[in-house]
Every structure is written in structure tokens, then in C-alpha cells.
Amino acid sequence: MNGLAISSDGLTKDYRKVRAVDDLSLGVPEGSVYGFLGRNGAGKTTTIKMLLGLTRPGTGSAQVLGLDILKGHLAILERTAYVSETKILFESMTTEELVRFNRGFFSRWSDEAASKYAALLEIPPRQRFGKLSRGNRTKVCLLLALAQKADLLILDEPTAGLDPVAVDEVLRILIEDHVSRGHAVFFSSHHLAEVERVADWVGILDHGRLLLEARLEDVRSQFRRITASGNGLPSKASPPVLAWSQSEQFWKYIVTRDSEQFATALREQGAAVVEVSPLNLQEIFLELVRKEAPCTSGSVGATHAGVV
Amino acid sequence: MLIHINPSTGVPIYCQIESQVKQAVAAGAFREGYALPSVRKLAAELRINPNTVARAYQELERSGVIRTVPGGGTFVADNVPGLLKSEKIRRLRPLVRQVAVEGTQLRLTSPEILGLVAEELEKLGGRR
């Protein structure tokens, strides 16, 4: 399966007149922790549902664990654990009952893991799901997913509503018990600091389109913000420029590689290069998806070629 | 283990681990034969991908700081091999240049900059 846990090619989905996912080509390497980022309504949940066969794509194709999402979706569901964005389970069942109910569906279910996670995450065992706080509901969903001992975890906002201690514990469990066994985690999140720590790949989705897919180490070592002042500086978002903006005589570029060469080229055009600095994930995210960001290359292929 | 990482700087995490281990060895905090945690354990402790830790360990092993005993763990190497003086200088020069540039931009005088370097050396020496 090309070393990819998830791959998609031109995945597109329309809801009536709205294009929720637009020509999406993802590549999630085996054993990676892939942070799938985007604003509310960017198309993350729709993508995840297509990958799991819970909704059909309009056009395009995808493989999960080497299985086609249309032909193999039952096998995919058996080998993949999923935490949904909504985190809805039977309201009247207690945690213990939910565990008993779920274990029968999964051939590799581990009772030992289930009780371990219930203890680690301090989940009340005998309260009805409907009476649990938002954070505790999330924990129950995670418990049910993790105890499946699946080959792949697909988690839609797995830390929503959790307190910082619980988030930390969840990350530790994911690394220790799942990623260390060579299995991938594909998760969406709005907590960029947490993504930055635990993920080794990121994809940024906006209006259904993948604006960036990159290895986080490359983002750290090669992505740079270049601020320059001058007149008539390049205003094109073509590689290695991922995004640019201008205010008065100041130009700001985000380049995905070769920042020194780019700065030199600017100087040769008579610009004064004020700063070449690294960016964190939050800054890159804001630059790419903020409404007033004037231009992004949107050219996923180019980003792939240059960075990935 | 006294490694901490900052995921939001422009420094790759594997480099952060690599340089902290080197620092700890240089400062004598990790002595010869000191057993480093397993890749899996350190990854879980730092909440980072095990591949990142593995890469840091590979780099450290390549530069002779640690050695891995198959199935037996990872240890600080017995005698960190002596690099050629010229190679040591080649590696250090960019960092020194950065200190010089930053220091000058902050309008510190040469004696002040040198004084800072001397202080840091002193701190390392104090722990040996």
C-alpha cells in the first residue's frame, strides 16, 4: 500500500450546491501521527466520513489500509477505530454497559486495555452516558476506540472538552500503546499546540481544499517567514512561496524551502530583507486560512513536490 | 531523564533531543555507560512520535555519542571518539557566528559577548 495508511485521489463531495470537499488528495504514511487541521466547516468531518464509508464521495477514490473505501468499507471499519465528532452513544447505558455492548463487535477487543484506560482516564463506570460531562463523554468514546486494538485510529476532535491533564494522558496513551506499535493516527483538532507536539505530519484543509500537506520536521527546519521592504517585489504564490501579503512597502512571504536563496533574490531586486524567521503551526495556519489572506498558492501538487 | 522539547520553535524536535543529549554528556550529567530510555519510553514521556526519537538516536549514534546494543538498550558511548580539531571547529563556527551577529545587533560589546560565553563554559565546568 505504498507505505500509506490512508491515501486519496481527487476526493470530492457536494452537499446540494455546496462543495464540502474539493479534489482532495491526501497521503497519510503508515505509523505517522497526522494532524488534520481546518476551520469549522472546512470539510474535515466529511472527509473522515468518506474514508470510513459512512458517506459516498461524489468523485475521486481513496484507500484506507490498502482497502478501497467503496468496496472494502466493512473491512476498513473492522480494522479502524473511529471517534466521531459528535460523540453520541446510547444515553441510557453506563460506561460498563457500553463496554460490554461494544466488545462483541471487534475481534481484537482487549478487556484488559479497556479497564486500563477506564482507570487512567478516570471514567465514572456506573454513570449513564447521558449524564456524563462533555469531557467524560469524549473519554468514553476514546476508551471504546482504543480498546479495539485497531490498526488505524481515525479521531475527529479526540480531545474536545478534555482538561489539560486528560489531554496529556490521552496523548501519552496514543504514543505508547498505538503509535509505538507502528500504527497510524489520523486526527482532526483545533488545538494547534497539541498537534504540533504529537503529530509528525499535518494537512491543512480550507473550503474543502488541501492547502498544505507536510512533514512537521520540514515545517520546522525549512518553512520561513521573510519580511522585506521595497517596491514592486514579487507578488506570486508559486513555489517556494506558499503565501504572501503586502502592507505599504512591506512584503511578507511564507516560503516552504530555500529561504536563504529567496532572501538573496529579493536583495538582488533592491529589497531590504528585514527578517527571516521560523514560524509555528499556529502562525502558518492563520496565514493560510485567514479570510483576509489575499493569495495562497492552493497548489497542493506544488507543495507536495517542494516540501513533502 | 532531563530532556524537554519545545515543539513551536524552528528547530526540528530530533535536533533538540540530539543537542540536549550532547549537552548532558558534555556537562557530565550522562556519564559513560549511562542507559538512555528506550525510543518508545522517551516518545511516550515527551508525547512525540517514536520515529522522531529514533531519528535523534540514529544521529547520536552516527556521531559516536551513544551506542545501541541490539535488544539491550542504548548507552552513552564509552569514549566519545575524538573528532579532528578542524572538524570540531567547522561544526562550532556557525553557532559562534550566530552569537557574534546577534550580540552585535543587540549592541553588546565584544568583552560582554565573550564574558557571556565564558560564563556558560564556567557553568559546564562546575558540573564536571
CB contact under 8 A, A221 and B11: yes
- pLDDT tens digits for chain B (128 residues)? 678 999 888 788 999 999 899 888 877 788 888 899 999 999 999 999 999 999 999 999 998 899 988 888 999 988 665 556 776 787 788 889 889 988 988 899 999 999 999 999 888 875 44
Distance from C-alpha of A305 to C-alpha of A289, rounded to nearest angstrom = 21
Tell me how far the alpha carbon of residue A28 is from its chain's centroid: 10
pLDDT the model gives residue A305: 29
As a whole number of angstroms, the distance between CA A308 and CA A214 comes to 5
A226-247 pLDDT tens trace: 999 988 888 888 889 988 888 8
**Which amino acid belongs to residue A158?**
P
Out of A32, A217, A279, name the one closest to residue B12 (CB). A217
Partner residue opposite A200 with nearest CB, options B10, B45, B51: B51
Q: Residue A193 and residue B43: Cβ atoms within 8 Å? A: no
Distance of CA B60 to the CA centre of its chain: 9
- Beta carbons of A64 and A30 less than 8 angstroms apart: no
Please give the model's pTM, rounded to 2 decimal places: 0.82
Low-confidence stretches of chain A (pLDDT beneath 50): 292-308
CB contact under 8 A, B8 and A281: yes
- Cis omega before residue A125 (within 30°)? no
In this predicted structure, what is the pLDDT of residue A113?
95
Residues whose CB is less than 8 angstroms from the CB of residue A197 and which lie 6 or more positions away in sequence, other chains included: A171, B5, B7, B47, B48
**A221:B9 CB<8 A:** no
Residues 6+ apart with CB under 8 A from A84: A141, A156
For B54, nearest residue in chain A (alpha carbons) = A180
Q: Output the pLDDT for position A136.
A: 95
Whether A52 and A73 have beta carbons less than 8 Å apart is answered as yes
User: How confident is the model at residue B111, as a pLDDT?
Assistant: 95
Alpha carbons A277 and A227: distance in angstroms, whole number: 9
Domain ranges of chain B: 7-76, 85-123
Instruction: Select from A178, A179, A222 the residue whose CB has the most chain B CBs within 10 Å, as the one to mutate to test that interface.
Output: A179
B28: three-class secondary structure by DSSP: coil
**Per CATH, domain B7-76 is 3.40.640.10:** no
Task: List, in order, residues 6 or more apart from A176 with CB less than 8 Å away.
Answer: B40, B43, B44
